[in-house]
Structure 1
C-alpha cells in the first residue's frame, strides 16, 4: 500500500495582519472602548491576530451607518445598479478564492480541499445568483413592487464562516437592504477579508458593516432598535433567546438552528454509495454541520455489512494538517467545542453504547478528535438525541420502513434527512413522511445557491437560498 506524501497548500498566499479593527461605514476603525480578543489557529493553537471587540457604542455607529446608506444610497438605487456591485463582489471572490480558502482553513481548522472545492465555489455562486435577482424582484412571486425591509442584523456561526456570510449578505443586498454583520468570535478573519473585498468592489460606505466580538456583541446587534430584520444561524439555545428578544418588536426573524439528522439506509440501497454518503454526512467539516447525518438508521438485514464497510472506509480517512490537500478530517474549531464532544462521547459510553474509532494518531498540539461511531445506541441515549457537533455517528437499526420513519422523526429537530434506496417509490414515500426541511435522496450534504435551505421544529424557520430565501428581505 502506497503512503501519501505531504501535499501542503502554501500559507504564503495569505497576509494576516497583526490586528484588525471594526468595519463601519466603509472604513476599518478602532473600537470606541478599546476591547480586543485573539483569533487562534485550532490546528496549532498559535495566535493569528488580535481582533477588535465591538461594544454597544460601536454597534450603534454601525447601525447608524447602515441606516444612512439604506435611506440615501442603497435603498433608492435601481436593482440593475445594485446587481453590478454584487457581480463585482462575486468575481473578486472567485479571483481570490485560493487565498480565501487558505485563510478559512487556517482560522477554522477545516481541510483545504473542503474550503477550496466546496465553500468558496458556493460563496461566489451565491453572490452571482442573487445578483441576477436584484432587478427581477417584481417577478419573484412576492407581489408587485416589493420593497426592502431596511437594516438587517445578521449573526453567523463558526462552522462555515464565509459561506454563512454569503447566505445572508447576498440576498439582503440584492433586495436593497443594508447589513450589520457579527461573525463568530473564533472565525472572524474571512469576514474581515470580505470587508476588504467590499472596498475593492467600491461598495458604497455603510452598505455592509462588520462588527466583531462575542455573545454580547451579537446580542447588541439583535436587540438594536434600528435593526429591521434579524438573521441568525447557530445553536437552538441561542436561537430561543433571540426569538424571545425579538418577540413583539415588529422585526423580521429567520433562524437556522441545530439538527440531529437521520441518514436512512434501506436493504436495497447501493451499499458502497450509501457508505460514502454516510461518511460525507457526518465527517465532512469534522461534523461541524447543522444538517450533519449524525444518526445512521440501517435496516437490520444489511446492518452488519454496512457497518463492516463503514469501518473499512473510516480506516482510510486521513486526519491532520488542514492545509494538506490529502487531509479528510481537520481540527476541531475550539477547545470549548472539543470539550463538549468529549463530554457527550463519555456519556454515550456510560449509557452502554459501544464506541469505535480507526487507528488514528492525533497531533500533539491543536484540537483534535478521531472519527467515531457508536453502536448499540438506544433512542433514549443522549448521543441519539443531542447535537454533538463533532465527528461522532450514532448507529441504530430498524426492521420496517414505518419503524425507520418513526425513529427518524423522534427528535425535536427537523433540519435535514437522507434516504438511501434503489426504489424511487420508496424514496418519495419516505420523503413525504420525514419531518425535515431538506431530504436528500441517495446523496447527502449537497447544496446549491438556487435551492432553499431551512428547518422545521427546533431547527428554526425561514429559508435561505433560492427564490424562497428572498422573501425574508422584502416588505411584501
Structure 2
C-alpha cells in the first residue's frame, strides 16, 4: 500500500497489505500469549510496562509528531499535542493498573449471613482494535493502554491511510519489554484485514472507532458470536451560543471546535446554533477570523490548518460543499482550494448560514472544516435544533448565565458536554455518545471496564447446614 503525504500528494513510503491469513496468525499469537503467563501477570507488572511505553513515546516525540504530519496532514503543533496526550494516556492507565490488584475483588453485602459473595474482574481475552485515521497514535493509545492495563492481548489494525505511528508504537512496546504476543499489529485494508478481524472466532472483544456504516457492519459481524463490542462512531455536534456570550471568546472556541485537525474530528461542534441578538456580529467576526487562518503544510510552524487526509476525503468534503450550495444555504466564506496553494488536499475554512434543516450539510457528518449555522430565538428552540439529530456524541453551550448552562447541559442528548469551551479531552473522563454515536465509553475507568469481564463468586460458609431435601428443617 502506498503512503501518501496529503500536503504534497506524493508517495513517501509503502506498507504491507495484510491478508486474512496474516490476521489469523496475529490472533493465534494473541491467544497463545493470553493463555500463557500474561493473563496472570500482576497489575504492578503491567503498570511498569505502561510507564515504559509512555517514556518511550516521549523519547521519540519529535519523530512521532513529524510522522503524524506527513502521514495525516495535521499541523505540527497539533501533532505534538497528540503525542503528549498519547503518552499521558499510557501513564494514566499505568496508574489504574497499579491499583488493579487491590480493586480486582469486591465484597458484596448479602441478606443471608450463611453466604459470602464477591465480584471479580478479569480480562476479557483477545481484543480486536480497529482505529481511524484522524488521530493515528492517540486512538491507538486509547485502546492499547487500557487493554494492557486489564491484562488482555490484542490485534491492532490501524487505518490503511495512517499506519506509520502505530508501527512505531509497536517498536516502542517491544523496547519497553512487552511480552511477545500481547500487542500484535496488522496493516491492511479494512475490507480485507478489518473484515477478517471482525469475524474472527478467536477474538473475544471488538473495539472500533470510525464511521457509522462501518460500525454497523462490525456490530453485525460481532453478533454472530455474541462478541463484546464497544463502538465510538460519528457525530454532528451542536454548539449553542446565547446572546450574553462574549463574542471574541465564542469565536475562538467555535473555530477550535470545527477547524482543529481540519474538522476531521468525530466530536467536532460542526452545527453552530447562535441566538439572534448577536448572530450577525458574531458571524461577521467569525468570517474575519476564519479567513485569517494560516493554511499550508503541517511542517511549517505557522500553519494552523493543514490538508485533509486523502484525495478521497478531499473529494467527499467538496461534494458536501456543492450540496450545501445546491440546497440554498448561504456560503459566507471558503468552500474551495486556497488560491495560493497549488497542490495538496486543502480546503479553506468554510461557513454556511441559512442552512435548511433537511439538507445533507445540516444532518450528515462532513468530517472537514465546514461549519453550518442556524439562528434561534429562545432556549427551547435552541435545544430542539441541537437534539434533532441521529447522533449524540458531543454538544457545547456558551453563556454568562451559569444556571442556564447547567440546565442546557442536562437537556442535551449527548455523551460529552462542554460549557463555555469545545473539544477539551482528558484521559480521566469518559468518552462516548448517545444514539448512533456508539456503544460504551472509552477513557477513564470506563475505558478499563471495556476490557474486563465481571465474575460473581459466592461461597456457602462452613458451620452452616443446607438440608432442603433432607429431614432437617429447611431455611425459611
In the superposition, the TM-score normalised over structure 1's length comes to 0.90
Alpha-carbon offset, residue 141 of structure 1: 8.8
Structure 2 counterpart of 1:342: 318
Deviations 1:289-309 (A, max 9, x none): 000011000001110011011
SS across alignment from 1:196: helix
Q: From 253, 266, 273, give the equivalent of 2:242.
A: 266
Tell me, yes or no, if structure 1 residue 320 matches structure 2 residue 304. Answer: no
Aligned counterparts, 1:161-200, within 5 A = 161-200=136-175
Contact 1:454/1:463 (<8 A) preserved: yes
SS across alignment from 1:135: helix
CA distance in 2, matches of 1:322, 1:73: 44
Alpha-carbon offset, residue 236 of structure 1: 0.4
Q: Structure 1 residues 301, 98: CA separation in 2 closer, same or farther (over 3 Å shift)?
A: same
Alpha-carbon offset, residue 357 of structure 1: 2.3
SS across alignment from 2:194: helix
Aligned counterparts, 1:114-125, within 5 A = 114-116=78-80, 118-125=81-88
CA distance in 2, matches of 1:392, 1:412: 19
Structure 2 counterpart of 1:92: 56
Unpaired segments ≥5 residues, structure 1: 1-36
Structure 2 counterpart of 1:202: 177
Alpha-carbon offset, residue 137 of structure 1: 2.6
CA distance in 2, matches of 1:142, 1:279: 46
CA distance in 2, matches of 1:103, 1:254: 28
CA distance in 1, matches of 2:83, 2:77: 10
SS across alignment from 2:37: helix
SS across alignment from 2:98: coil
Question: Over the residues paired in the alignment, what is the CA RMSD in angstroms?
Answer: 1.3
Alpha-carbon offset, residue 315 of structure 1: 2.1
Tell me, yes or no, if structure 1 residue 129 matches structure 2 residue 92. Answer: yes
Q: Structure 1 residues 145, 309: CA separation in 2 closer, same or farther (over 3 Å shift)?
A: same
Structure 1 counterpart of 2:446: 468
Structure 2 counterpart of 1:395: 373
Alpha-carbon offset, residue 365 of structure 1: 1.6
Deviations 1:225-256 (A, max 9, x none): 11101000000011111111111413110000
Structure 1 counterpart of 2:400: 422
Structure 2 counterpart of 1:284: 260
CA distance in 1, matches of 2:176, 2:104: 30
CA distance in 1, matches of 2:197, 2:321: 35
CA distance in 1, matches of 2:279, 2:365: 23
Q: Structure 1 residues 398, 140: CA separation in 2 closer, same or farther (over 3 Å shift)?
A: farther
Structure 2 counterpart of 1:22: none
Deviations 1:47-80 (A, max 9, x none): 1111011111110100010111111132111111
In the superposition, the TM-score normalised over structure 2's length comes to 0.90
CA distance in 1, matches of 2:155, 2:201: 13
Contact 2:104/2:121 (<8 A) preserved: no
Structure 2 counterpart of 1:452: 430
Contact 1:416/1:437 (<8 A) preserved: yes
Deviations 1:107-154 (A, max 9, x none): 0000001011x2111100100000111132356698443100000000
Unpaired segments ≥5 residues, structure 2: 107-118, 455-476
Contact 1:233/1:255 (<8 A) preserved: yes
Structure 2 counterpart of 1:229: 205
Structure 1 counterpart of 2:286: 310
| Segment of structure 1 superposing worse, 91-100 or 254-263 | 91-100
